[in-house]
Structure 1
Amino acid sequence: MDLLYKRNLALLIWISLCLNKADVTAYNGDGYPPLWNLTSGNIEDFSNEANKTTINFWNYLDRMSAYRILLNVSGNLLNMTETENKRNVLWGLPLQHGWQYQTGRLEDTSKMETRAHRSVDQTMISPRSWWACMNYYLSAIPFLGAVDAGLFKGITHEIELIYPDESESDFCYSIKDCKASSSEAMEEWKTFFEFIKSSSQITEGSSPQSSKEDEILLHMWKAHVESIKSGLTKCSKRLNYLSTQERTFGRSWATAVEFIAATQFSTDFENTNTFQVYLPHRLLTEGDKAPNIADFTQGQNMVLSSLQLINKVNTFSGGLLLKLWKKAMCSEDGRTIGRELILNIATEPGFAISKMIAIIKELIKNFACEVLKKKEK
């Protein structure tokens, strides 16, 4: 066991050295997703005919409107209507979708080798896009999960999603349909929204991360991870439409989400915007080799390189790195340190190393954490 910990200690310190090199880049703009002012926050604004509400999740504005509706409904339940609901942990979903849109990742990547930024009037989402496919499971599934949980009082008619132009079998289009094809993700999102309904104690003036908010984040991240698992299975063929570098980045990002999820990190408006400046501002091409991509900032280069490194080490170790990380996050102390590491990884020189060592100590202390939890149950 001592040898195993020494190896893991060396591995985590090596990764922390790489992560610690990221720099800071100021976020430009007001922080809202592209075209946010054109979206609707009311479910009744969608097409309603013959007692059936239809939503086109292959249109950027419709998909983003669905997110805005979820933010409004959950924000009202949690008394977060002040300061524009910005502490709502669901902000991570629309902000990520906006980044995908702005960087051309929602377009048909099977036809072009190089891509310019999408113009503001192009709102069609391609079913051939790996990112768009993955995001479908982080937009349509949460939305239908909220409907199933009864968040929309007074809506008695059926919600049905419009089919894409191709690959219809890769997606689901109603509560019943999605329960059949993505049962775990649907169940976790329903559980999350049911918990939201019973957790009205969270307010704008509450502590930065109260115990109730921790529980909300626990349920949210469980649902988030299940959506990604569903997407990875259904969307895999679309990876062939991406460059080798973009494909590696996509896989690395999916892995990174599980590391972030283990910390119960709050994906509110501010936190999500803080980190999106470090994500690639365009699709990666075959010639892009981080950390030396000429038109990327130092922070973008180093974060991209670090994500790829973490995914590579985790894959090479058969998932051991992620298992150890989750074990370190088993206690609130471990998760607190993990969140601080994420928040400060690119802003405080030397911070990552000290915090990573603290996490390793927590890992050692929590070696039997899962066993203890089972005994308590």
Structure 2
Amino acid sequence: MLRPAVLCLLLACTVSFSNAAVVEDGGLPVMWAHATDQLGDLPVENGILNPDAWHYLHRMSLYRLIIAATDPFLGVMGPGPTESPVWGLPLQLGWLLTSGRLADPTGATTCGLQTGDTMCISPKSWWGCVNYFGSVIPFLSGAQQGFFGAGVQMQQPAGEDYCTTYDDCKTRFPDAIDNWDKFYQGLRAAAESPLPDNEKKDALLGLYWKAQMASTYASAACNSLQSSYSTVEVTFANSWLNSAEYVAAAHFQSNIERAVKFMTPLPGRVLQENDSPPNIADLSTEENHTLRIFSWMKNMNTLLGGRLVTTWQSAMCSVTTREKGREMLEQLLLDPGFATSTFVGIITSMGTSC
């Protein structure tokens, strides 16, 4: 069984909350080895699985269980155990932990702080709330679709009103649940599909990202929690959400190697009101570059009335253009010498060829 009190004492010594972005530990998500891939290690109440999604190791365990259950259906992603696109989610959760974004931003509790329970995910954290929709909803859907073979009800934080069962989440967020259901159903259907592996892979990535984005849109329910953050952090948060539109449309395969490459340059701490991106002295050149590009993408899309995103989505119309799109995103986000004007010009020309 997971023993929170013992594990927190052990892991508080190994987690480093620094300004450097940390998304992995020994090539795997942060504290992956301390999460479980056995349903029996999670709490059970009245015969129903009852995880505490507001404890970091429980939430990480949801991801570990999802990956273990879906890996047998994702052989088209490539050889080896780290090719599943789902790996991007636990890596992201690790970044949220080490950057301090899962802690209580109101200061009312020590949840998530080094001075409190480092494994606590605050229900008042906007980031923790958004991630709830990208962890609990896919897990509940997977359980409903028979991937885990257990009834599930998540623990409810005191005084909060998060959906905790499949039926509850389906009632409140039907599009998110429906699209995760289609992803799991698509995994089984792909096993019988006569399509070539490259087309199966692209189709499964399409289902995966449609489900991911449905969870992201559902997380608008978290918007009121942004009031506890600086305007600089809120600007980054909103540009981070906007960037997902591009990644999703390109059917990005967020395996460990690729996901780490894109997440390492994310800011390794919560941004404060006196920060002035992209010139934040205690952040790396790469982190400042990411802040600049995310801001540019969001602002340019706003200036164009949303047409940068829609043009990009239109351009991602085939397996070939999506492959080119993934290459362009890598250049834009990771190469400081890549001109943003080049990005706009290329996607405009790509869009006309569809």
- Structure 1 length as normaliser, TM-score? 0.80
Question: Are positions 1:71 and 2:59 aligned together?
Answer: no
Which residue does 1:47 correspond to in 2? Answer: 43
Which residue does 1:193 correspond to in 2? Answer: 184
Q: Tell me which moved more, 66-75 or 157-166.
A: 157-166
Alpha-carbon offset, residue 110 of structure 1:
1.2
Match of 1:161 among 154, 158, 173: 154
Question: Are positions 1:179 and 2:166 aligned together?
Answer: no
- In 2, the alpha carbon distance for the partners of 1:144 and 1:27 equals 25
Which residue does 1:212 correspond to in 2? Answer: 200
Alpha-carbon offset, residue 41 of structure 1:
0.7
Give 3-state SS (helix, strand or coil) of 1:176's partner. Answer: helix
User: What is the one-letter code of the residue matched to 1:160?
Assistant: Q
Give 3-state SS (helix, strand or coil) of 1:198's partner. Answer: helix
Alpha-carbon offset, residue 316 of structure 1:
3.1
Please give the per-residue CA displacement for 1:23-77, whole angstroms capped at 9, x wherever unaligned.
xx99885232221111001222212232211011010000000000001111123
**Cα pair 2:23 2:92 within 8 Å, conserved:** no
**Cα pair 1:53 1:159 within 8 Å, conserved:** yes
Question: Are positions 1:88 and 2:84 aligned together?
Answer: yes
Alpha-carbon offset, residue 313 of structure 1:
2.1
Distance 1:29 1:66, change over 3 A: closer
Give 3-state SS (helix, strand or coil) of 2:62's partner. Answer: helix
Please give the per-residue CA displacement for 1:96-115, whole angstroms capped at 9, x wherever unaligned.
01100110100100128xx9
Question: Are positions 1:34 and 2:44 aligned together?
Answer: no
User: What is the one-letter code of the residue matched to 1:324?
Assistant: T
Which residue does 2:131 correspond to in 1? Answer: 135
Matches within 5 A, 1:140-151: 140-151=136-147
Alpha-carbon offset, residue 362 of structure 1:
1.2
Match of 1:266 among 244, 253, 273: 253
Give 3-state SS (helix, strand or coil) of 2:273's partner. Answer: coil
Question: Are positions 1:303 and 2:290 aligned together?
Answer: yes
Larger relative CO (CA 8 A, sep 6+): 1 or 2?
A: 1
- Structure 2 length as normaliser, TM-score? 0.85
- In 2, the alpha carbon distance for the partners of 1:219 and 1:34 equals 27
**Cα pair 2:209 2:251 within 8 Å, conserved:** yes
Question: Are positions 1:359 and 2:352 aligned together?
Answer: no
- In 1, the alpha carbon distance for the partners of 2:335 and 2:116 equals 32
Alpha-carbon offset, residue 318 of structure 1:
2.5
User: What is the one-letter code of the residue matched to 1:365?
Assistant: S
Match of 2:53 among 46, 52, 57: 57
Over the residues paired in the alignment, what is the CA RMSD in angstroms?
2.8
**Cα pair 2:112 2:119 within 8 Å, conserved:** no
**Cα pair 1:189 1:220 within 8 Å, conserved:** yes
Distance 1:201 1:35, change over 3 A: farther
**Cα pair 1:217 1:264 within 8 Å, conserved:** yes
Give 3-state SS (helix, strand or coil) of 2:184's partner. Answer: helix
- In 2, the alpha carbon distance for the partners of 1:90 and 1:70 equals 8
Q: Tell me which moved more, 223-232 or 357-366.
A: 357-366
- In 1, the alpha carbon distance for the partners of 2:113 and 2:268 equals 9
Alpha-carbon offset, residue 359 of structure 1:
3.0
- In 2, the alpha carbon distance for the partners of 1:286 and 1:240 equals 13
Distance 1:80 1:255, change over 3 A: same
User: What is the one-letter code of the residue matched to 1:359?
Assistant: I
- In 2, the alpha carbon distance for the partners of 1:249 and 1:167 equals 26
